[in-house]
Chain A
């Protein structure tokens, strides 16, 4: 078992969290849609696994490189 950390690509808001904790995701599945400067920026699972922890709240401000998710593979 390994843990993968998913960080934010942008500074903006955690516009829509698409998954919930404990959910199984495939590589490439959408985890969250961040929003910055009128753009939607989807973040996808880099590998298949289980969403172990969601580290942000929907609607919250996020900064570039903030930890968003921990995925257990």
Chain B
């Protein structure tokens, strides 16, 4: 009874076996294998994991922040976009997708040159007089600017409850906002690169919402705010869940972004794993173990989230 056309899926099955299933099996085997010259099965690789607790925490924290910011930007954007006319929607969609047609590394390099100490942003700040390069070097307005700088940061940190954004290690002459090679820059890179993955699923769910559902809610007496809270938002949760998944998973495992925008001093999980395979700390056994732990944590997170969302709607396909 099987469809004869199913043979056409054979290439993909082979592909998947070779490049998805086999590597995962290899990772599992390596993770439980002792580092030479020792041999055989071991849990040592996992026992070493507590050394990297800081890295795990940092990765998950940054990825969570990036995901949250994406959601904060992406949801209202998708929502209002879905209400616009079709031609406006098309143009907006192209604009949202446009950066994705460029290479990921190129985009990130572009951010480097924008955030650099004498990059685009700092020059613009100088031109606008927000920071005065000349005077700062003279030390004349040094104190004023430093307090301004600190004021801005204190405000940001108070608002966001973090100490992450635009952290300025003012070790040397404070002649610029130090933006590149901060954790804020890493978060920015994640948000910039993965924002479309948040927008698209949410947008596609909202655009498909049956207008008569909203009319029914209005008809039953609900105000606009109530219609949103009780109908639109719960029904868009599947989009939110898949958006969150699609931003969080690549964010938590990224290494290029943290390397380029974070300066590679404060390691993220991706960097750590890369180091084990390509870097000086060559230890594929440990690298596999870290990968495995990360995968398990991500899968558990996603599972829990989908279960949480199931109450409202059907589970989201990862």
Q: Note whether A and B form a binding pair.
A: no
Residues of chain A at the chain B interface (Cβ within 8 Å): none
Residues of B in contact with A (beta carbons under 8 Å apart): none
